[in-house]
Structure 1
Amino acid sequence: MRKGAKAAIVGSVFAVMVGGAGYGAYNVVTAISGDGGAAGPPAVRTGPPSGDEVKETSGKFFAAWEKGSASVAADYTNNAADARPLLAGYRDDAHLTDVRITPDKPSGATVSYSVKATVSYDGKTKPLAYDSELTVVRGQTTGKALVDWQPSVVYPGLEKGDTLVTGESASPPIEAVDRNNVVLTKEKYPSLGPILDALRGKYGDEAGGTPAVELAIRHADASAGAKTLVTLAKGKAGRLRTTISATAQAAAERAVTNYAESSVVAVKPSTGEVLAVANHRKDEFNAAFEGELAPGSTMKIITAAMLIDNGVTSMNGPAPCTDTAVWQSQTFHNLTGMKANESATLANSFLRSCNTAFVKLVDEKPLTDESLTTEAQERFGLGKDNWKTGIRSFDGSVPASGGPNRAANAIGQGEVQMSPLNMASVTATAITGAFRQPYLVSPKLDDRQLATARGLSHGTSAQLKEMMRLTAAQGTGAPAMAGLGPNYGAKTGSADVDGQAKSNSWFTGFRGDVAAAAMTEEGGHGGDAAGPIVAAVLRTGG
């Protein structure tokens, strides 16, 4: 769910992909004339490297790396210019010596290997051991077998612009605690690992600690913090209080592990404080805060607010649910098996998550292409790029769209993008009427100004809250929310994405003074995967 992932518009979408993955080669022509022939330039080898080439190239690369011969090792890669400084820094900046690399038997063009080295700095030494892998490819112009250069060849997880550095830490260590002074560690709460690194990078100085001496990955973006690999000398940790609830965080950690590629956020609607944030992913990307994907029908909370605020309809007003709806030549459908209801109210179409009812209503006056954007920005505080949560986060995006995307946006497809953090905030605003920007660290610590928005009228908020209650009690959210009543509510969502066999599962809900939202990539319908995650967090009570 990384930044830039593009969701499909509901309806017929066709993507044509033109491949060009082959490696370059020269055609060789030999001219023969008279009593002899003049041969052209020697043929450049093509095709995948042979097993012998893979073994020979990787072996020479490893040997040069072990000796600290950065230039020689870099010349065995297909991008020596990028490889050279990182390989040189391995010895000069990271102070890694006594390097020993043990390769496994190649698997095709891929070679896995283990690395053992010694970190030596200012009279202190410690061992470092890790596993990584590389791939050998054919050079496009030379035809030589070369190591396909990626920063992760040097250390797993390294990305372009990252460096390995040993020395005094860029920021003092922190002891992060929850709202009740319970210590938060990445060992007990694995999802918080990257978040604690980011908090240390931003607030280490303010927390009052003293630097450590360590080997760390430093990112090109300093705001992302640094990741400590080996500590040679401990610094003094400063205490940093967060808004996290250890109880809610523990529940979130357990819940996301049940579904691959899942993320969840819980907030306190009365204050905006983040109570839990958890991710279950193959990488360390904080998709809960930074993910940018279509939110599916959870977006109907904002669309319903727009319809009510603009006098188009109300909770008990008409919102006919038809089998299909056509908007500017684009045909929209409902979930398979949903029965049409021409007499449906907005509340009924909301709790059943009828797409066609919302598509038909976005054509009503006085609505324009900008109406949904205005509602999202002015009422819900989204899409203005001004949230200051304490770490890096995404503010949501609801662009003004014409054509079929105007209707698609209204049901959480098209060009709309959200994160679980955004949707948890949407629910908090819907049930309280006030937009309170979510935050993880008190703004008093660094005097940052939180984002503001008008919020909703009491009437609109009351209607949204009641429709979410109906959805949790008797609508699409009922199976996941069973047993959580009476002061509860929910909205489900599923978002179709190009190239995925199953839709992304979205779910947002509230119980008392806790609002939560979750997303599971390829999780199916909203209640199938994201729903149980949200319900598990809400059961803790914050």
Structure 2
Amino acid sequence: MPVARGVKIGVIGVVCAGMFGVAGYGAYNVYTGLDGSGGGHTASGSGGADAAPGPLTAKQVARTADAFLTAWAGGEIAKAAALTDSPQTATAALTNFRTQGHVTSLAITGIVPTPKGASTPATPATPSTTAATGTAPSAPTTPAGPGGADFTVTAHLSADGVTSTWTYASSLTVDHDSTGAAVVTWHPSVVNPALAEGDSVVTGTGADPETDVTDRNGKVLTGTRYPSLTRIIDDIRSRDGDKVKGGTPDVETYVQHGDGSPGKVLKVLRKGKARKLTTTLDAGVQAAAEKAVQGKNGAGVTALDIHDGTILAVANSDPSGTDIALQGADAPGSTMKIVTSAALIERGMGPGSPAPCNSTDNVQNGRIYHNDSPSLHNADADLLWDFANSCNTGFITQAPKLGASGLRDTAAQFGLTQPWNIGTATPDDQPGFPDGSGADELTSEMIGQGRVVANPLIMASVAATAATGSFHEPRIVAASMIDGRISAAGVGSRVSGDLRELMRGAITAGTATGVMSGFGADSGAKTGSAEVDGQAATNGWFTAFAGDVAVAAVVHDAGFGNTSAGPIVAQVLRAS
């Protein structure tokens, strides 16, 4: 009966020649009649003249190959094995091929053998007819060393209720044995070219069904269709494929190694049914994300469901490069002002609290900061105006309200101080919000510079927490498949209400105006530009939410976020 792939099978010993019987096999003897005498169908090496010392001739090679292949095809295993230089090993291998391979009948056809090393190469003849219906052309008789023969095997297989025909090419070599007789030099590759020493052919069910990775609606996801998911699909399948039930394995013919482990699949008799590994991704949103970053340089985007943190889409402009969307580590620039605003609101400020915006400013005689635009100045500005217009100085001058740990304490409520486990690979230390020691480091972190780093996944989560007040650790597969899930306090409904007002202000009267045109009252955004040493332009950032979805994007070395990353975010939100 068929065997399951990966189950070790013991070597079958020598059996009698009549075990299978000739009646069930079609033996196509293409070599018969090469010498006009009906071939060399003896059970010993070559017999008679073939045993004479000296170089082999093409006739001797043809006669020996003919006898071996005819016996093999006819199920006369012992007779075929006796025509090799290793009868016992050949008997076991040919027997196993029939039994383990579930071969019910066998036919062999091919071309006239050509001696190797001939001084005048022999010209291959056309394929001959069968022994029952005709004769073949005469073979060259040029003396030579060992000779080779190419042939084609057609095996009829039956296993697990499935029948199939398997055709493949193979070859053999004929040489003298120690007595001077012409014999087939035995190697497992005679049975099939994929076989090495210790290997055998097995037909049976595969060890496991294949695993299809699907989106949340059951649509199969592939790297061909969604290039940015290539690494993620492979990673998820590797992590969680064996956790999924269902599906049926292929029925296949495959190489089994000597240690019982499965090797190369040679023939699939019946395709199995793949089991389904469902992700949180949405194929429609993913397609929009792939299109949105296409043609950009160093761009990544991530989309989340704001209510549960499930990841809807991940895309990178260079799918074969760094996964910027999930694994990037860049200063987030002014998008970090969402977290900073939450920290200030928790310590007494509100959207209408005074926060003068000067063209340049510092704190405690420390580092001098400027705004993206030298003309940005408003002595009467409040927190809402500063946020909408992304005034750096309006924020850094509020640093004394936060104290040494205030910003990091609020970042912890956004889940930014604990590494996440989202169900696919992300940096082990991210998020990992720094401690903000020192006045200059704290003020830098308040505007998304200094030692704080993020990626679109992190900033989309920040926008989602701001929109709902609750933190949900992002994930790309079912929560039950992920060990070590974390929790964080979130910012609560009051702070969330003020953050939504600030982020809505950026759309109606701030830096996100235009790019977010058409989004309603249930939307908000924040732009960002982050300075990077050695770059001619800043990295452009943008994060926003609309309805049930939050999206963040970054474009490297691209300038202002509203013109570089903003259109990417808006395009994905419109498709969500």
Q: TM bucket by the smaller chain?
A: 0.5 to 0.7
Matched to 2:513, the amino acid is A
Tell me which of 488, 496, 500 is aligned to 2:535. Answer: 500
Aligned length: 358
Per-residue deviation at 1:282?
6.6
Residues 12-44 of structure 1 show CA distances to partners (whole Å, capped at 9, x for unaligned) of xxxxxxxxxxxxxxxxxxxxxxxxxxxxxxxxx
Establish whether residue 199 from structure 1 lines up as the match of residue 224 from structure 2: no
Q: Evaluate the alpha carbon distance shift between residue 300 and residue 174 of structure 1 in structure 2; reply closer, same or farther with a 3 A threshold.
A: same
**How many percent identity over aligned positions?**
41
Q: Distance in 2 between matches of 1:508 and 1:357?
A: 20
Residues 169-196 of structure 1 show CA distances to partners (whole Å, capped at 9, x for unaligned) of 9997421111111111111111111110
Per-residue deviation at 1:357?
0.6
Conserved 8 A contact 1:172-1:200: no
Residue in structure 2 matched with residue 383 of structure 1 by the alignment:
417
Tell me which of 200, 206, 217 is aligned to 1:180. Answer: 217
Q: Distance in 2 between matches of 1:124 and 1:510?
A: 59
Residues 94-152 of structure 1 show CA distances to partners (whole Å, capped at 9, x for unaligned) of xxxxxxxxxxxxxxxxxxxxxxxxxx9x95769xxxxxxxxxxxxxxxxxxxxxxxxxx
The residue matched to 1:482 in structure 2 has which SS? Answer: coil
Residues 249-270 of structure 1 show CA distances to partners (whole Å, capped at 9, x for unaligned) of 0100000113111100000011
Matched to 1:381, the amino acid is G
Establish whether residue 249 from structure 1 lines up as the match of residue 282 from structure 2: no
Q: Distance in 2 between matches of 1:409 and 1:523?
A: 21
Residue in structure 1 matched with residue 547 of structure 2 by the alignment:
512
Residues 212-266 of structure 1 show CA distances to partners (whole Å, capped at 9, x for unaligned) of 99xxxxxxxxxxxxxxxx9877785321101111111010000011311110000
The residue matched to 1:264 in structure 2 has which SS? Answer: strand
Residue in structure 1 matched with residue 560 of structure 2 by the alignment:
525
Per-residue deviation at 1:302?
0.0
Q: Evaluate the alpha carbon distance shift between residue 279 and residue 309 of structure 1 in structure 2; reply closer, same or farther with a 3 A threshold.
A: same
Q: Evaluate the alpha carbon distance shift between residue 124 and residue 274 of structure 1 in structure 2; reply closer, same or farther with a 3 A threshold.
A: farther
Matched to 1:397, the amino acid is G
Conserved 8 A contact 1:261-1:282: no
Residue in structure 1 matched with residue 471 of structure 2 by the alignment:
435
Matched to 1:247, the amino acid is G
Residues 349-377 of structure 1 show CA distances to partners (whole Å, capped at 9, x for unaligned) of 0000000011100123xx22221111111
Matched to 1:484, the amino acid is F
The residue matched to 1:205 in structure 2 has which SS? Answer: helix
Establish whether residue 425 from structure 1 lines up as the match of residue 461 from structure 2: yes
Establish whether residue 340 from structure 1 lines up as the match of residue 377 from structure 2: yes
Conserved 8 A contact 1:487-1:511: yes
Matched to 2:422, the amino acid is T
Please show how residues 26-37 of structure 1 align to structure 2 within 5 Å. none
Matched to 1:177, the amino acid is T
Tell me which of 436, 440, 445 is aligned to 1:409. Answer: 445
Per-residue deviation at 1:503?
0.5
Matched to 1:434, the amino acid is S
- Unpaired segments ≥5 residues, structure 1: 1-119, 127-168, 214-229
Q: Distance in 2 between matches of 1:435 and 1:397?
A: 16
Establish whether residue 483 from structure 1 lines up as the match of residue 518 from structure 2: yes
Per the normalisation by structure 2, the TM-score is: 0.59
Instruction: Say which structure, 1 or 2, has more relative contact order (CA 8 Å, 6+ apart).
Output: 1
Establish whether residue 284 from structure 1 lines up as the match of residue 318 from structure 2: no
Q: Distance in 1 between matches of 2:435 and 2:395?
A: 17
Establish whether residue 539 from structure 1 lines up as the match of residue 567 from structure 2: no
Per the normalisation by structure 1, the TM-score is: 0.62
Per-residue deviation at 1:284?
3.4
Tell me which of 258, 270, 276 is aligned to 2:295. Answer: 258
Following superposition, which runs of at least 4 residues in structure 1 exceed 3 angstroms of deviation? 122-126, 169-173, 208-213, 230-237
Structure number with bigger Rg: 2
Residues 374-413 of structure 1 show CA distances to partners (whole Å, capped at 9, x for unaligned) of 1111x1011212x221111243232112141110000000
Q: Evaluate the alpha carbon distance shift between residue 317 and residue 125 of structure 1 in structure 2; reply closer, same or farther with a 3 A threshold.
A: farther
Per-residue deviation at 1:473?
1.9
Conserved 8 A contact 2:339-2:410: yes
Please show how residues 454-493 of structure 1 align to structure 2 within 5 Å. 454-493=489-528
- Unpaired segments ≥5 residues, structure 2: 1-188, 196-205, 253-263
Q: Distance in 2 between matches of 1:183 and 1:308?
A: 45
Please show how residues 86-485 of structure 1 align to structure 2 within 5 Å. 173-208=210-245, 237-281=274-318, 283-311=320-348, 313-327=349-363, 328-364=365-401, 367-377=402-412, 379-385=413-419, 387-394=420-427, 395-401=430-436, 402-444=438-480, 446=481, 448-485=483-520
Q: Distance in 1 between matches of 2:443 and 2:400?
A: 8
Per-residue deviation at 1:462?
0.2
Residues 404-455 of structure 1 show CA distances to partners (whole Å, capped at 9, x for unaligned) of 11100000000001111000000000010000111100112x3634211111
The residue matched to 2:331 in structure 1 has which SS? Answer: coil
Q: Distance in 2 between matches of 1:375 and 1:125?
A: 61
Residue in structure 2 matched with residue 224 of structure 1 by the alignment:
none
Per-residue deviation at 1:472?
1.4
In angstroms, what is the RMSD of aligned CA positions? 2.6
Q: Distance in 2 between matches of 1:231 and 1:259?
A: 41
Q: Distance in 1 between matches of 2:293 and 2:361?
A: 36
